[in-house]
Amino acid sequence: MLKITKFGGSSVADSTQFKKVKSIIESDPARKFVIVSASGKRNPKDNKITDLLYLCHAHIEYHVDYLPLFKMIEQRFLDIKNELSLNTDIESELAVLEVELPKLSIDELVSRGEYFTARLMADYLGFPFVDAKDVIEIRYDGSFDYDRTSENLKKILVENKRFVMPGFYGRTPDGKIRVMTRGGSDISGSILARCLKADVYENWTDVSGFLIADPRIVKNPRNIEKITYSELRELSYMGASVLHEDAIFPIRKYNIPIHILNTNRPEDQGTIILDNIPEEDDKESPIITGIAGKKDFTAVEIYKKHMSNDVGIVRKTLSVFEKYGVSIEHIPSGIDSFSIVVRSKDVSENIYDIVSEIKEAIHTDHINIADGIALIATVGRNMNSRPGTSGKLFAALGNSGINIRMIAQGSDEINIIVGVENKDFERAISIIYNNFIGEE
């Protein structure tokens, strides 16, 4: 059994968190390859090291004294080192960094958060340190070169049977450090899981996986035990975020499970994310996997008699939105009408111009603007095999007097989206939860 274990910023925020990481690693010999983010917030008012490093760079760029800020960062690392009585000489490296800071590229500068956190973690765990710039190969276009990364790993594994590696960065073909997008250590873990053919990729964070619904709306919602990548994509799009979205791409086709776990409550079950879940393992799972949603959408409702014979009408309408750079969320349609659903903030400045251009483009007589719409996605891989799911959903909302403004379902039938008034948003989510999962 081979596990890749990645710890997020809050899991390595200070020496207390380092101790939790150590006991997690030591409790399972399969946890041989550890990836860390840069130390994150120790409390809600604290700062993430990566944010401070970006700020340092801004100070340098605007010729403002960056030293006080740099000293704050330095102290965070020194506190961890001293509190854990570690030996790694980060002081000399930090002293060099302090002088060279103005000359570094922004990527190299911000990568130092992960670098020092990993150096300290390697020392504390008694594992070798392996630098991500000697492992992760990033092409100039930002894509990952898995073949070359695997070759690098093969060489490293000759001497090291386990290691700690910083997340978030790698190197481009010219040897320069390149960082990923924010939260990118999740992707580093995933790349390692793929290249080392891991059995599982453990992603340790500060929540016990995903919940079926937002706990600010539903009291004590149940945990999602298993979820597919596609379901997760639907839910993340609607706002549920724990994992970097791109972390699934490196391992998707290998069906390597990602196990989301909580460093502060390691005994919790967490959530397992998989490409597909075999039917025999899915018998106990609920029909719906999760509910998520967002407020503040606008539906531009377009009516025209005998529209169904009018070739090109939708294209002409969409090109108006394209001209204004507005991305489309949904297009529910009827025989002589269709609606374009967009985020309200994307059209707030141009809505009158958009409407008049649509009128001109398709010669319609009637366009209605419906604001204040909330979209709620009810997601579940098991929905398509069970007839009556959407009926149950609509009946539950209807019986509670909630007006459904629109309905959309993706062709893979794992997601039913309903549009309701903003004011009904929270109540609608609670009703769906209670009907499918049950009241606590």
How much is the CA Rg of the chain, to the nearest whole Å? 25
Find, among 378, 382, 340, the residue nearest to 357 by Cα: 340
Contact pattern from residue 24 through residue 63 relative to ligand ASP, giving x for each residue in contact according to CB under 6 A and a dash for the rest? -------------xx---------x-x-------------
Q: Is 189 in the site for ligand ASP (CB under 6 A)?
A: no
List Cβ neighbours of 387 (8 Å cut-off, separation of 6 or more).
none
Find the binder of ligand ASP among 7, 12, 17, 113 (CB under 6 A).
Answer: 113
Rounded Cα–Cα distance for residues 23 and 250 (Å): 28
Contacting range for ligand ASP; rule: CB under 6 A; set: 14-22, 120-128, 182-190, 369-377: 182-190
Q: Is 380 in the site for ligand ASP (CB under 6 A)?
A: no
Cβ-based nearer residue to ligand ASP, 8 or 419: 8
- The H or E element spanning position 291 is strand 290-303
List Cβ neighbours of 46 (8 Å cut-off, separation of 6 or more).
13
174 contacts 185 by C-beta, under 8 angstroms: no
Task: Kindly state the smallest distance separating residue 184's Cβ from ligand ASP, in Å.
Answer: 5
Rounded Cα–Cα distance for residues 419 and 406 (Å): 5
Find the binder of ligand ASP among 184, 189, 209, 221 (CB under 6 A).
Answer: 184
Cβ-based nearer residue to ligand ASP, 11 or 149: 11
List Cβ neighbours of 217 (8 Å cut-off, separation of 6 or more).
426, 429, 430
Task: Kindly state the smallest distance separating residue 55's Cβ from ligand ASP, in Å.
Answer: 12
Rounded Cα–Cα distance for residues 405 and 421 (Å): 7
Cβ-based nearer residue to ligand ASP, 205 or 389: 205
Contacting range for ligand ASP; rule: CB under 6 A; set: 181-189, 305-313, 319-327, 386-394: 181-189
Contacting range for ligand ASP; rule: CB under 6 A; set: 25-33, 178-186, 250-258, 323-331: 178-186
Find, among 61, 57, 89, the residue nearest to 73 by Cα: 57
Q: Is 10 in the site for ligand ASP (CB under 6 A)?
A: no
Q: Is 168 in the site for ligand ASP (CB under 6 A)?
A: yes
Task: Kindly state the smallest distance separating residue 130's Cβ from ligand ASP, in Å.
Answer: 17
Considering CB under 6 A, how many residues would be counted as binding ligand ASP?
13
Task: Kindly state the smallest distance separating residue 260's Cβ from ligand ASP, in Å.
Answer: 14
- How many other CB atoms are found less than 10 A from the CB of residue 197? 11
Crossing angle (nearest 10°) for helices 15-26 and 67-83:
50
Task: Write out the residues near ligand ASP by the rule CB under 6 A.
Answer: 9, 37-38, 48, 50, 113, 167-168, 182-186
